[in-house]
């Protein structure tokens, strides 16, 4: 904005003779620098040119001094543009903008209230780019979790598959694909989903999502003990503030509370549709049911072990201690079974 204001004013102000004298001064300096003339000769030549320049200025005294009104207006506009515009823009942004707001990827905007319309627009924009370049693996990788969040599960499966096909296999993309496959199957870990989780774990053995769903697959296949071992290992290595730890604890409590005739795959699939509060109530009911069954079958050592683990997972230490006393009384005549209970008591820290 400022360049044309200064350029036009200078063009009108420069006299042709003055420009010639200035060129002569530049030429003298170039000759001196190149060694064509000595310093003394250069200084004498500069004095002569300067004398002529002064004489020319004296001959036209008003030319260099007079400043047209339009020039003053240009200068005022330049000052306003240079100082005023940044000041106004900065003040307005600090007042109404969000300079402290961090950048947020497309997937992270899904949960924000009032963003449904803008999310639809963003999805449409990415879809338009993918229509032009369907082999853009990065675009599919961005879109896949967004589809999953907004409930477009079939589209999510397609997007994850394309991301893996065009970007190569990574643990997050494979575990996301497996999760989408599970959601399509209403909570059942299908063979396709299990294969995706296994491939993710081959790349990253600590991938949390894949570890959980592999445990769920074991539970649904009638191997609750294997599922419990997997989830216990996850919790043992979990950070103190792991956001997924509570969910895994609930799953562990569910399998710990189940007896040999516990929930089948259909029951687990139905439980996956419940919200957290409903699922917690279901688990509490299963634990209470197990405790009630042990009253009529007190010699069931496996049942006592499951009950103790369930209480600890649920954070009900007092009930666990009471169950230890009940198990000792019930198994006092069967030392082998009692020994298994005592070993678990030590592992759970219930003997102190």
* pLDDT band, very low/low/confident/very high, at 219 (cuts 50, 70, 90): confident
pLDDT surpasses 60 at 22: yes
Tell me whether residue 78 is in a domain.
Answer: yes
pLDDT digits (tens, 9 = 90+) for 220-265: 887 888 898 899 999 988 888 889 988 898 888 877 766 444 444 4
Tell me whether residue 309 is in a domain.
Answer: no
Q: Using the structure block, give the residue that is written with the tokens 């947020």.
A: 104
The pLDDT of residue 279 is: 67
pLDDT surpasses 90 at 77: no
The pLDDT of residue 170 is: 94
Rounded average pLDDT over 295-303: 86
Tell me whether residue 64 is in a domain.
Answer: yes
Q: Comparing 3 with 150, which gets the higher pLDDT?
A: 150
Rounded average pLDDT over 27-47: 69
Q: Comparing 85 with 94, which gets the higher pLDDT?
A: 85
pLDDT digits (tens, 9 = 90+) for 7-16: 544 444 455 5
Tell me whether residue 16 is in a domain.
Answer: yes
Global confidence as pTM: 0.47
pLDDT surpasses 70 at 72: no
Which residues form the domain of 23?
2-96
Question: SS3 for 247?
Answer: helix
Question: SS3 for 122?
Answer: helix
Tell me whether residue 29 is in a domain.
Answer: yes
Three-state SS across the chain? CHHHHHHHHHHHHCCHHHHHHHHHHHHHHHHHHHCCCCHHHHHHHHHHHHHHHHHHHHHCHHHHHCCCHHHHHHHHHHHHHHHHHHHHHHHHHHHHCCCCCCCCCHHHHCCCCCCHHHHHHHHHHHHHHHHHCCCCHHHHHHHHHHHHHHCCHHHHHHHHHHHHHHHCCCHHHHHHHHHHHHHHCCCCCCHHHHHHHHHHHHHCCCCHHHHHHHHHHHHHCCCHHHHHHHHHHHHHCCCCCCCCHHHHHHHHHHHHHCCCCCCCHHHHHHHCCCCHHHHHHHHHHHHHHHHHHHHHCCCCHHHHHHHHHHHHHCCCHHHHHHHHHHHHHHCCCCHHHHHHHHHHHHHCCCCC
Tell me whether residue 62 is in a domain.
Answer: yes
Average pLDDT over the chain, rounded to whole?
77
Number of domains in the chain: 1
Tell me whether residue 278 is in a domain.
Answer: no
CA of residue 191 relative to chain centroid, distance? 29
pLDDT surpasses 80 at 329: yes
The pLDDT of residue 149 is: 87
Tell me whether residue 39 is in a domain.
Answer: yes
């Amino acid at each position: 904005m400022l360049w044309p204001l200064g350029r036009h004013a200078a063009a009108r102000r420069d006299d042709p003779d003055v420009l010639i004298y200035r060129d002569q001064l530049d030429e003298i300096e170039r000759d001196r620098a190149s060694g064509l003339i000595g310093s003394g000769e250069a200084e004498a030549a500069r004095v002569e040119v300067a004398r002529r320049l002064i004489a020319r200025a004296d001959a036209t005294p008003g030319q260099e001094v007079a400043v047209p009104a339009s020039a003053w207006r240009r200068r005022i506009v330049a000052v306003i543009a240079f100082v005023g515009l940044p000041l106004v823009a900065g003040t307005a942004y600090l007042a109404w903008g969000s300079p402290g707001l961090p950048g947020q990827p497309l997937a992270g905007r899904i949960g924000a209230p009032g963003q449904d319309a803008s999310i639809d627009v963003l999805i449409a924009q990415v879809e338009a780019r993918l229509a032009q370049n369907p082999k853009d693996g990065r675009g599919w990788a961005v879109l896949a979790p967004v589809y999953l969040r907004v409930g477009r599960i079939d589209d999510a499966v397609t997007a994850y598959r394309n991301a893996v096909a065009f970007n190569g296999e990574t643990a997050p993309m494979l575990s996301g694909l497996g999760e989408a496959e599970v959601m399509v199957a209403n909570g059942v870990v299908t063979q396709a989903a299990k294969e995706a989780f296994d491939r993710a774990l081959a790349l990253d053995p600590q991938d949390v999502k894949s570890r959980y769903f592999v445990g769920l697959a074991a539970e649904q296949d009638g191997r609750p003990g294997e599922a419990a071992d997997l989830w216990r290992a996850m919790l043992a290595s979990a950070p103190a503030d792991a956001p997924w730890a509570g969910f895994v604890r609930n799953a562990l409590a569910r399998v710990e509370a189940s007896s040999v005739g516990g929930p089948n795959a259909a029951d687990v699939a139905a439980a996956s549709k419940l919200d957290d509060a409903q699922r917690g109530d279901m688990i509490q009911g299963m634990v209470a049911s197990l405790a009630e069954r042990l009253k009529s079958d007190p010699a069931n050592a496996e049942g006592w072990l499951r009950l103790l683990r369930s209480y600890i997972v649920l954070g009900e230490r007092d009930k666990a201690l009471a169950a230890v006393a009940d198990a000792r009384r019930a198994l006092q005549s069967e030392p082998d079974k009692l020994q298994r209970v005592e070993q678990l008591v030590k592992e759970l820290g219930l003997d102190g």
